[in-house]
Structure 1
């Protein structure tokens, strides 16, 4: 910026200040402050020789303190991990091969997240509890291979019948010979896979809880091997829970109809249990109401005894405020008196 530009800027600033003062936006003292702020600053005076020597001494002291602090940090890291010194000597030959941060590792707790297992109660390293002797967690690789070979021999490599007419057919459609292996081997039902999907009202699997709630069967009946076939599998909620038992619907339904006398008898049992449940709810409600009434009567009787002994509870009815004079601190007070008992109260007049 040359001298002409500086002079033009200064003249523009002066005209702007004059306009502000003429309009009454700023006062004369404010204009003087603005002019003093925009005035050119004087050149700094050069330092003398004693002052320069003092600056140099302070800079030397600061460098020594910084070097001493760095040495203390290195000594602390060496005492925590002595192998750092060996690494440092080897890094002088090849500095980019072994570069380690000077971290005091004993101040930290290291967790190997790759070895942690989710126990659904926080990530805790606990040994898994096996489900039983047939659990996959206890099987070796050879046992697993043997189980797979047996499964293939049972389901995939089974010998075909001598003639197609001799092959077992589905009892539902009497056409397909490809039977569902689970229903055939566990529940002894000759049903094809297509019929299992088409008729879920007959061949769907029920849990033990559903059998007890929907068909009103008891635990001894469901645990009897002579009455029901069952398929057991690990509990999906937790491996430590009891194994889940599955029953086929048609077998459970047939036994339930035989027990309760057909579909009408099962519906009647459901109606009877619902009425009994409603009666129990009503009885519980009445008992609670009776208990509440007894408690209320007891509280009323206790209140009457207290009123007879001490009299009824008095509610003050204060009169209008009158002048109470001035207290020790010089504050004006007013007085009120209860019309019934004569109790007086003093209040500060606001």
Structure 2
């Protein structure tokens, strides 16, 4: 067994020392990064100790348990949330409920939509929400009717449940949209008449489009059934035949069967 030369043994020993030094440096660097990422917090059950963190456009809550809890609510992905409005304590400033005719200091519909209905009279069906698209198509309103006409209708913003990358939906109070439609069109009868007129125009447009499609389909069928033998060509007539009763002559094309009748002077 050949023995290692002194030069080779010294190079291997120096290389091993360099490797050990590099490993130690990497270990120290990893330890420093780990200590920098650790959040030291005393154990507590107080919910106010939870920190709020912004991850892109989404707000999340650092629970301290190793995971982030996405914050719920309409304004979670928007700018910092404003503090809820304070209740109107003085009775002279309190609104009167449109349903029960009682004064109330604060309610969801009043704070959100400026609609004077207390929380006790709030009903999910009577005070339903409609999207901006539904408000424009069903009540025949335009953007200026919702935003520019005084007072501008207030709305709440929600994430689109069908398309996450789409813009946020704007939801309006249906009762306020109905009132705005009556103000724009003057009466419910005029609104119904305009709906019927637009429905008829839409049906006529659909019928014309269907007729155009049917006509194009018929042309395609006719072109596929076109007999090339009936295309324009030079006739090759057979011998003429004389009809004594009609006193006329006729001859038939040998290719297409065309019959030509004529008289002789």
TM-score (norm 2): 0.50
Which structure has more strand as a fraction of its residues? 2
Higher RCO structure, 1 or 2 (CA under 8 Å, sep 6+): 2
Higher helix share: 1
- What's the TM-score once normalised by structure 1's chain length? 0.39
